[in-house]
Amino acid sequence: MEPIAVTVRTESRWVLIHRCTNCGRLRLNKTAGDDNVLLLMQLAALPLATPFVPFAAEPGPRTRAQNGRGKRLGPPASG
């Protein structure tokens, strides 16, 4: 079993979410008074540090080669 997340049930009760390393089953386990609070906070902040959906880089301007048709990109030429 490995801890993967923390959830809060009540104002003072935190619950660890564990995943079985063999079958993937999730289990909830109440935290105890002697649990390391710093490690609990690190586990709680983990989704903020590693978002589920990665942010995509902004696309740059396309070139003729990327267009695939060899046509000019941009506004039509006046003329």
Confidence of residue 28 (pLDDT cuts 50, 70, 90): very high
pTM: 0.54
Please give the share of the chain, as a percent, with pLDDT higher than 70. 61
Q: What are phi and psi of 45, to 5 degrees?
A: -85, -10
